[in-house]
């Protein structure tokens, strides 16, 4: 059952459907988005049988002319050769601007599909069906697209908003446990920015804070049967959409979504992606708290609360052994804009839930703290 359909007031308004059974409603939702008759479904090897084939059948029965392309798994799908293949297929099939690319899978396929859709004919319709927890709460929400270049990850990208996003928590039933935990790394980040989002956007939270909800949720296994899961996913999506609606292109407020990501990105890169995105963000969140403690912006007890939650979710809290600290600091310096001698960080402030968007940090503090 779909528990909400929400229109956002973004450059392109997006319909977001969240709930068990959202996939079965795909043809009805697409009709509301007034897309053309042609759809190219992009999937990953893991999502072809499970979700893409049934979607092709459903949409074909609904009168659409549907084609399917299976892309390489993981980051390999974000290479420019794959982008060329997708553009070529769109051209072979004579796609026009009203026709649609529909991505079914994790953040890798939604990033590639978004980039392809935003650039082909200067923009065709896009629909996303995220099937990893990370993609449902983060990668498919917010309009950032990207592909990787030989020099680094996500170096070419656009801001481009899908016509619809269909989030069905039941698709997570097949997700490996580690990928599920990785999604919780990103979810815990949302708990750490909730008060700032409440104060700065139209987001209206539930009766309890996301932090309190998560502290209860981790008492049960963090799988598809966790009774809090659908509510948690919905809260994160609403929070991200509220931030993005206020600041679509990361002028200032949107930076709060990067909490924990400065060290997180460096860990992903230096570990050669041995750490998943959510694991690296989890470590980055603890680091941001410690940095805030050092600058007398956060009491140590607040960091302890975070660490307890991360450990209950079986996420790492310290930098893995063997990663050279100097290289992490160098990578962090490049990740951030320098202003004079200091670099700007998003840091927890006062209490978990509240963040300062541009705290000044001297690079020497980073190495000492690591």
Ligand X SMILES: NC(=O)c1ccc[n+]([C@@H]2O[C@H](COP(=O)([O-])OP(=O)(O)OC[C@H]3O[C@@H](n4cnc5c(N)ncnc54)[C@H](O)[C@@H]3O)[C@@H](O)[C@H]2O)c1
Residues recognised as catalytic: 122, 144, 186, 240, 250, 254, 258, 261, 265, 277
Among 52, 83, 100, 139, binds ligand X (CB under 6 A): 139
Sole window of 100-108, 216-224, 258-266, 319-327 interacting with ligand X (rule: CB under 6 A): 100-108
Kindly report each contact of residues 316-323 with a partner whose C-beta sits within 8 Å and lies 24 or more positions away, as own/partner.
316/275, 316/279, 316/282, 316/283, 317/282, 317/283, 317/286, 318/283, 318/286, 319/263, 319/267, 319/283, 319/287, 319/370, 320/267, 320/271, 320/274, 320/275, 323/267, 323/270, 323/271
Which of 114, 290 has the CB closer to ligand X?
114
Q: Does 8 bind ligand X (CB under 6 A)?
A: no
Which of 130, 290 has the CB closer to ligand X?
130
The alpha carbon dihedral of 58, 59, 60, 61 has a sign of: positive
Among 7, 37, 97, 174, binds ligand X (CB under 6 A): 174
Which of 185, 361 has the CB closer to ligand X?
185
Q: Does 74 bind ligand X (CB under 6 A)?
A: yes
Which of 269, 277 has the CB closer to ligand X?
277
User: How many DSSP H helices and E strands does the chain contain?
Assistant: 15, 12
Torsion angle in degrees (nearest 10) through CA of 180, 4, 138, 319: -50
Q: Does 317 bind ligand X (CB under 6 A)?
A: no
Nearest approach, Cβ of residue 117 and ligand X (Å)? 13
Give one DSSP letter per residue of 5-53, joined into a string: EEE--SSS--EEEESTTGGGGHHHHHHHTT--SEEEEEE-HHHIIIIIH
What separation in angstroms does the CA of 186 have from each of 257, 318, 365?
Answer: 9, 16, 25
Chain centroid to Cα 311, Å, comes to 21
Q: Does 37 bind ligand X (CB under 6 A)?
A: no
Q: Does 167 bind ligand X (CB under 6 A)?
A: no
Q: Does 118 bind ligand X (CB under 6 A)?
A: no
Sole window of 81-89, 95-103, 107-115, 228-236 interacting with ligand X (rule: CB under 6 A): 107-115
Sole window of 22-30, 102-110, 202-210, 227-235 interacting with ligand X (rule: CB under 6 A): 102-110
Q: Does 293 bind ligand X (CB under 6 A)?
A: no
Q: Does 356 bind ligand X (CB under 6 A)?
A: no
Sole window of 25-33, 174-182, 212-220, 320-328 interacting with ligand X (rule: CB under 6 A): 174-182
Tokens of 174: 């097949």
3-state DSSP assignment of residue 99: coil
Nearest approach, Cβ of residue 122 and ligand X (Å)? 20
Q: Which of 263, 255, 253, 309 is nearest to 284 (CA)?
A: 263
Q: Does 265 bind ligand X (CB under 6 A)?
A: no
How far is Cα 136 from Cα 167, in angstroms, rounded to an integer? 6
Binding site for ligand X (CB under 6 A): 44, 46-47, 73-75, 78, 105-109, 111, 131-132, 134-135, 138-139, 142, 144, 154, 171-172, 174-175, 179, 277
């Amino acid at each position: 059952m779909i528990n909400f359909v929400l229109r956002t007031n973004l450059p392109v308004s997006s319909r977001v459907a969240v709930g068990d059974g959202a996939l079965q409603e795909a043809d009805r939702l697409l009709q509301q988005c007034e897309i053309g008759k042609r759809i190219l479904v992009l999937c990953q090897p893991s999502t072809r049988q499970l979700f893409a084939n049934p979607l092709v059948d459903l949409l074909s029965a609904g009168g659409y002319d549907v084609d399917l392309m299976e892309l390489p798994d993981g980051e390999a799908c974000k290479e420019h050769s794959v982008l060329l293949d997708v553009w070529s297929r769109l051209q072979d099939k004579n796609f026009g601007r009203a026709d649609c690319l529909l991505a079914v899978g994790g953040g890798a396929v939604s990033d590639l599909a978004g980039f392809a859709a935003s650039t082909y004919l200067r923009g065709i319709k896009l629909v996303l069906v995220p099937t990893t927890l990370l993609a449902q709460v983060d990668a498919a929400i917010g309009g950032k697209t990207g592909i990787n270049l030989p020099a680094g990850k996500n170096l070419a990208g656009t801001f481009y908003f899908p016509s619809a996003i269909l989030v069905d928590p039941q698709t997570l039933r097949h997700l490996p446990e580690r990928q599920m935990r990785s999604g919780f790394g990103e979810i815990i980040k949302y708990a750490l920015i909730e008060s700032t989002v409440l104060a700065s956007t139209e987001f209206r939270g539930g009766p309890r804070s996301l932090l309190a909800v998560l502290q209860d949720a981790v008492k049960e296994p963090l799988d598809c049967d966790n009774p809090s899961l659908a509510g948690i996913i919905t809260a994160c999506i609403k929070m991200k959409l509220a931030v993005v609606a206020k600041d679509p292109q990361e002028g200032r407020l949107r930076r709060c979504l990067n909490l924990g990501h400065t060290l997180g990105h460096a860990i992903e890169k230096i570990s050669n992606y041995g750490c998943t995105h959510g694991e690296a963000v989890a470590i980055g969140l603890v680091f941001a708290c410690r940095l805030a403690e050092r600058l007398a912006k956060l009491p140590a007890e607040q960091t302890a609360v975070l660490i307890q939650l991360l450990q209950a979710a079986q996420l790492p809290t310290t930098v893995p052994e063997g990663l050279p600290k100097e290289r992490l600091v160098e990578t962090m310096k490049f990740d951030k804009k320098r202003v004079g001698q200091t670099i700007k960080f998003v840091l927890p402030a006062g209490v978990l839930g509240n963040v300062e968007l541009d705290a000044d940090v001297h690079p020497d503090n980073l190495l000492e703290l690591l």
